[in-house]
Structure 1
Amino acid sequence: MKLKQPSGSQKRKRRKIDEEKRKVDEGALDKFIYRQPVEEHVEEHVKEHVEEKEHEEVEVEEVENQEHVKELVDICDPRRWEKLNYDEIKLLVEKGPKRDTSIMYGPYDKFGRRFSAALYTRTLPNLEKCDREWLVYSKEQDKLFCFYCKVFRKGISKGKLDGEGYADWHHEYVVLNEIIDKVQYEQFKKERDYWKVVLLRIIVVVKFLAIHNLAFRGSNEKLYQKGNGNFLGVIEMLEEFDPVIKEQVRRITNDGLHVHYLGHTIQNDLMLLIAQEIKKELIKRIKEAKYYSIILDCTPDSSHQEQMTIIVRYLKLSYNSVTVEESFLGFLNVDDTTGK
């Protein structure tokens, strides 16, 4: 079956034949036509214009070739981070620290020690894993470098991590923890101290509501909504005066903070912990007292479960006085009320 239209190959062959015929016929009518000579200065001007254009094209090609060669150079290699210009620093910052994740270990030194990719990660005091993003390893030099210290260094280097590189694989953990991770540890410490003061205020609110025998929760557990209970109501009140609670509420409302320690679970946990500490203190006082007695009484709760109340009466001794104290220690479930 014949094609209705010529194929691409046939079109190219036909175009080639037409071009060859055109070249053969070119100049065939020159013997019948008299052409006036073109002035030399016009030819020179045209020639100069063509040369300038060719020169510009050559310069553009050279620049493109130079840029291509620069791309072929490994700019992420720490060996090339000496006397960087502005454009190179900008390029490095945009790319960020680059690591060869295929390198898990380096070659052994004369002491039988070597680089390990485990150095990229540090375990913080709270057992949280922290990535040393700034740390890079040069396979060619078998040394560690601080990316930011090396790239932005001005003047004489203050250590091996921003200079010739660090390759003491016997003390590497000590050096990395003391020199660079100190900044990250300070940030972690600052955040840790922040959460301490937040929890301190939450504990105070829990103690206040428990002492006054007030209900903690309402029909919902969201800030600034109707019926959210006494606990969140006190938090909203403190937000107007206390800068720590104000920052905590800002994080919750603006940043969508999920771990905020304002939910019912943390409230129950804090009440349980406070109750345990109070019981320890009461037992300590009872043991120190010379005389004490135990009072037991049974009463059913709302679910008709019989409960035994444990109350201890004891003498509280001080330097200049003696007082009688009664302390409630808790309930015990009673399965049989026959007294046998």
Structure 2
Amino acid sequence: MYPQKEFGNSSFKSSWFNEFPDWLEYSIEKDTLFCFYCYLFKPNSEEHGGGNAFVGGGFSNWKKKERLQTHVGKSGSAHNRARIKYETFVNQKQNIDCVLFKKSKRTKEEYRIRLNGSIDCVRFLLWQGLSFRRNDESEDSKNQGNFLELLKWLCDHNNEINAIFLNYCI
């Protein structure tokens, strides 16, 4: 049994958990409701149905059950955006480590070669104190800048790097 309000005989109804099982949180201590999704991933906007009540102080107007549905709102509501953020957070298949682990060994190796080739060019330019760019880096330019020209030179002199960079615009 939940506490009754001093004025009137209204109180929280446990049946509301059946209607909103995923997000409804009840605080026994405060005798108020909170939105689990919005509490964790509250958007910066003030467009919550019911304002900040479901996040900050809690909701306790037991005679206004319709405010729960107002809080949920339509598909683009603040509550639903917070729900999507929560679901993404919980979905470990979208975790960056998992995504990178699924990349093929060949893809990882190609990335490593491109990265190391680019880093070598950057190091050389920094050691020499040379600029990286020019005003005209378009494809028909005779001099596209030190970085791109050095990368082309590296491709011309290293078959492994050349094979990987052929798929990319340089």
Q: What TM-score do the two structures reach when normalised by structure 1?
A: 0.20
Between Structure 1 and Structure 2, the one with more strand by share is 1
Q: Which has the higher contact order (CA 8 A, sep 6+)?
A: 2
Larger radius of gyration: 1
Q: What TM-score do the two structures reach when normalised by structure 2?
A: 0.38
